[in-house]
Amino acid sequence: MNRTHSVLLSVFLLLACSNEKKYEETGVAFSISDTMLASCEFYNALEEPVKNEIRLFGKITADNNKMAHVNSIVGGIVLTVNAELGDYVKQGQTLATVRSSEVAEFQRQRLDAQSDVAVAEKNLQVTKELFEGKLNSERDVNAAEKEWIKAKAELARINEVYAIYKLRDGSTYTISAPISGFVLDKTIFPNEQLRSDVSEALFSISEIDEVWAMANVSESDISKIQLGYDAEVRTLGFPDKVYKGKIDKIFNAIDPETKAMKVRVRIPNENFQLKPEMMATVNVIFTEKQNLIAVPSSSIIFDKSKNWVMVYKDRQNIETRNVEVYRQLGAVTYLLNGLQPGEKVISKNGLFVYDAIND
């Protein structure tokens, strides 16, 4: 018993004793004082569906539908890197620059394509003039027109490549952010030699205003898990914070190494507290097929190896009642017997009343 509890108990006992003397003539052994009554809270016992929970373990991950992996289409020497791991970047922001001979080759191809279009257009014009002068055939005109169309298509293709990859004249290639979000992975460094045939992403960027909790379900618990079940997620980084969500995806496959099935819980993350790769505990809450009396867990008093509640009828009529607990789930305790629906129990500071009556 701590010092605060001892002081409060002493006050309540003194008040109870004074009340005992006050009611001695009427034969009332105990009456709760005004001070003690004001400090208590009460709850009417109700019969409710019994809830249970399964504790799962997993980690926080980014929503892969809101993630972009950034690669380089050219090889070369990395000149600058403008974003680091954990940085927030905006769409179109420069992530890195690369000096590459391949960019110069794209520029040469575009110049050649522009030249081919000009030549084909001139040839078409000359062919049409000759045709008008009866110096060639319509077949020659059609052939020249096809060459002109082909040259224009090649120039349009190269211009499209320039637009998609934001290429510029010269030998410098700029790697830009395709979406806004946080840099979750980075494998590029200044002065590094890049190869265009390497598939590993240079940057991974993701929005994390909503994240996933990916949890492992053991084979023995698979039958208990269903879509839509409520889930409470806790992390080591914020142990007192509870993030609530629902199971929205069950991956119907068993990992051969862990022998577990994965489930996914979506969690709003507006303040970005949750970071991908954080370890997480996921408590999945479900309803059993039975109803029992439910009371606040704060109303249960454990003493003499038994569980008790203080049943309140009026200030002179408070009963210490033995109850049998079926399960405690957070702030709610389910009882097998000892209480009836509608009976009022003291849910706050009942221990002081218990001590005043029974000590």
DSSP 212-249: EEEEEEEGGGGGG--TT-EEEEEESSSTT--EEEEEEE
CATH of region 54-65+209-288: 2.40.30.170
Q: pLDDT tens digit string along 323-341?
A: 999 999 989 999 999 999 9
Q: Which pLDDT score is estimated for 26?
A: 36
pLDDT of residue 101: 85
Q: Is residue 281 classed exposed, middle or buried when 0-12, 13-18 and 19+ CB atoms within 10 A define those classes?
A: middle
- The pLDDT assigned to 10 comes to 53
Distance CA 207, CA 225 (A): 28
The predicted structure's pLDDT at residue 6: 53
- Summarize pLDDT for 130-154 with one digit per residue, the tens: 888 888 888 988 999 999 999 999 9
Q: Which ranges in the chain are annotated with CATH 2.40.50.100? A: 69-206
Instruction: Return the number of other C-beta atoms located less than 10 Å from residue 124's C-beta.
Output: 19
pLDDT attached to residue 25? 39
> So what's the pLDDT on residue 29?
60
For residue 22, the model assigns a pLDDT of 40
> Which pLDDT does position 7 carry in this prediction?
46
Question: pLDDT tens digits for 279-335?
Answer: 999 999 988 889 999 999 999 999 999 999 999 999 889 999 999 999 999 899 999
Q: What is the pLDDT of residue 16?
A: 47
pTM over 0.85: no
**Residue limits of CATH 2.40.30.170 in the chain:** 54-65+209-288
Please tell me the number of Cα atoms within 13 Å of 57 on its side-chain side: 4
In this prediction, residue 11 carries a pLDDT of 46
Distance from C-alpha of 325 to C-alpha of 307, rounded to nearest angstrom: 7
Q: Which regions in the chain score pLDDT beneath 50?
A: 1, 4, 7-9, 11-28
Q: With respect to CATH, is domain 69-206 assigned 2.40.50.100?
A: yes
